[in-house]
Structure 1
Amino acid sequence: MSAPERIPPRSVTGAALLAEGELTVRGRIRDASNAALYCTVAHDGREATCVYKPVAGERPLWDFPDGILAEREVAAYEVSEATGWGLVPPTVLREGPYGEGMVQLWIEATPEAELLALVDAEEPEPGWKAIGFAEVEEGRTALLVHADDERLRRLAVLDAVINNADRKGGHLLPTADGPLYGIDHGVTFHVENKLRTLLWGWAGEPLTAEAVGVLEGLRNALSDGGELALRLARLLTAAEVEATRARVEALLASGKHPEPSGEWPAIPWPPV
């Protein structure tokens, strides 16, 4: 008997397997704030490892009263796919052993890839971007920096579009073969500006030509009757879809990465 075929992260076949395969719970991810189950999914000789987050295990959030976290996670994947950047692992909404939930392909991160650091300096070294100063012990601060990495810059644009309120370091998954993925997108798409992220290093800087082209594509896809607009309408409220469209327009109008508003903490806590 041959071993089951493993599915690469960026694979339409992988998304279909997540939606159609038999889901088997193998364990629970203990450090997750909501119920997150480590699973395998198998169908017709193919197999993948995945995360299953049942809606029944979600903790209600007072500031995200509309919809469910699982739908927002799938919506983030839909927007990521529309960019062509593939920054979110294949993610589907489906029935599982504990009811409807989000199922996402498991990504094996490369632990030695350093994307964040604390340094004893006033300015970042070449290859790094400053986030801000953090208190590391009583009376002592250090500069928090992230890598000046094009993959992170793309993710910063995606986060601005989906209004990510919780981009922590632990949500960044670099892989051995090159791609970088972002996970945990349950608190996204709010109609109010709630962008809270570690990726402020490009704040106020001009968007790249590539990013502008991607945003123009998103604008078309989010227009009335656009494919992405129709997909998001099944996952988000009409007001949230309209707010997403408005954020894309605002980014194109400014031509720059957004800056912190100063109205609330701009960095999530804890940052990792």
Structure 2
Amino acid sequence: MPSPGADMHGSGDALLSGELELLGRITTASNATFLASIHGTRVVYKPIAGERPLWDFPDGDLAGREVAAHLVSEAFGWNVVPRTWLRDGPAGEGMVQLWQECAPDEDPVDLVAADAVPDTGWRHVLDGSDENDEEVSLIHEDSAALRRMAVFDIVVNNADRKGAHVLPVEGGHRYGCDHGLTFHTEHKLRTVLWGWMGEPLTPDELAGVARVQDALAGDLGEALSSLLTAQEIAALGERCDRLRSAAVFPEPQGPMPAVPWPLF
């Protein structure tokens, strides 16, 4: 498995140790989040010192969970999470992730008028009312890329898959970002990607879950041991086992909200 800091273009050492220059703050994020550059490579930098404490995620830090999510993404082999690693920066140690330029005019997750839901190519999630009391529907693409992201979210127990956390890039690939609220031992799945509830997983999707489960017994489990608790790693393996046994996309469960708020 590649190391968290290894870059696909062979500049891993530079990304790990090169000067991290802040370009600006991303003000839409709830925690301190910066656009930065390392020798001309744009990255997102989230210092641990800028994290807000969360009562239901008391163990470790959110930056470590983001790195753990990338490692699980690598084990899946689907490239769901951009390359992510821990390193020092102007505000101390934090998560660094390769910046992704989003394709213009592409919205894999969208709100549309309730009477304008497309017949094909999209999945309906829920209905509601907007600020003008107009009926609207939450929809998302019916694509292999988003199906894989939904499977990934189930496995890592993602509590915050907002629409804005799906990054559309040229060529149809979709990246997921903001994975700090993951790997809880209790069920926390909150996502906008509910469009396949109850439908069977494909052989490819089940094979991806199996790869993660197998990797937990080796390099992945070892790498996660410095980022997550032993209980969280065990719960990750149990989620893989349950998903492979059920072999279908789950439905919402328990009293907690099934979608994050705000949706985007």
TM-based fold match above 0.5: yes
Aligned-partner SS, 1:152: helix
Unaligned runs of 5+ in 1: 1-8
After superposition, residues 151-230 of structure 1 pair within 5 angstroms as 151-223=145-217, 226-230=218-222
**Residue 29 in 1 paired to residue 26 in 2?**
yes
C-alpha spacing 1:123/1:177, structure 2 compared with 1 (3 Å): closer
Q: TM-score normalized by structure 2?
A: 0.92
More strand per residue: 1
Matches within 5 A, 1:251-262: 251-262=243-254
CA distance in 2, matches of 1:134, 1:39: 38
SS at match of 2:130: strand
Q: How far apart are the structure 2 equivalents of 1:239 and 1:172? A: 28
Amino acid at match of 1:92: W
Change (3 A) 1:233 1:174: same
Match of 1:239 among 228, 231, 242: 231
- 1:1-272 alignment runs, 5 A limit: 11=8, 13=10, 15-42=12-39, 47-117=40-110, 118-121=112-115, 125-137=119-131, 140-223=134-217, 226-272=218-264
Paired AA for residue 94 in structure 1:
R
How much has 1:176 moved relative to structure 2? 1.5
Q: Give the count of matched residue pairs.
A: 258
CA separation of 1:148 and 1:245: change in aligned 2, threshold 3 A: same
After superposition, what is the alpha-carbon deviation per residue over 1:38-74, rounded to whole angstroms, capped at 9, x for unaligned?
Answer: 11002xxxx3000111100000001100010000000
Percent sequence identity over matched residues? 49
SS in 1 for 2:88: strand
TM-score (norm 1): 0.90
**Structure 2 segments unaligned to the other structure (5+ residues):** 1-5
Q: In the alignment, residue 50 of structure 1 is paired with which amino acid?
A: V
| Aligned amino acid, residue 194 of structure 1 | K
C-alpha spacing 1:269/1:82, structure 2 compared with 1 (3 Å) = same
Partner of 1:6: none
Between 19-28 and 76-85, the greater mean CA deviation after superposition: 19-28
Output one character per residue of 1:72-117: Cα deviation in whole Å (capped at 9) or x when no partner. 0000000001111011111001111111100111111013112123
User: What SS class does the counterpart of residue 99 from structure 1 fall into?
Assistant: coil
**Distance in 1 between the 2:109 and 2:211 partners?**
30
Distance in 2, matches of 1:261 and 1:18, equals 41
Distance in 2 separating the partners of 1:231 and 1:130: 37
Question: How far off its partner does 1:20 sit?
Answer: 2.7
Structure 1 range deviating more: 173-182 or 32-41 = 173-182
Letter in 2 for 1:83: F
Distance 1:96 1:10 in 2: 18
Greater mean deviation of Cα atoms: 173-182 or 146-155:
173-182
TM superposition shift of 1:12: 6.0
Residues 250-271 of structure 1, C-alpha deviations (whole Å, 9 max, x = no match): 1001001121014211011110
Q: CA deviation at 1:16?
A: 4.6
Specify the code of the residue in structure 1 equivalent to 2:175: Y
Matched to 2:86, the amino acid is L
Cα distance change on mapping 1:109 and 1:15 into 2, 3 Å: farther
2:46 partner amino acid: K
**Paired residues of 2:114 and 2:127 also in contact (CA < 8 A):** no
Mean Cα displacement is larger for which, 140-149 or 126-135?
A: 140-149
Deviation at 1:172, TM superposition (A): 0.8
Give the deviation of 1:21 after TM superposition. 2.0
Separation in structure 1 between the aligned mates of residue 98 and residue 170 of structure 2, nearest angstrom: 16
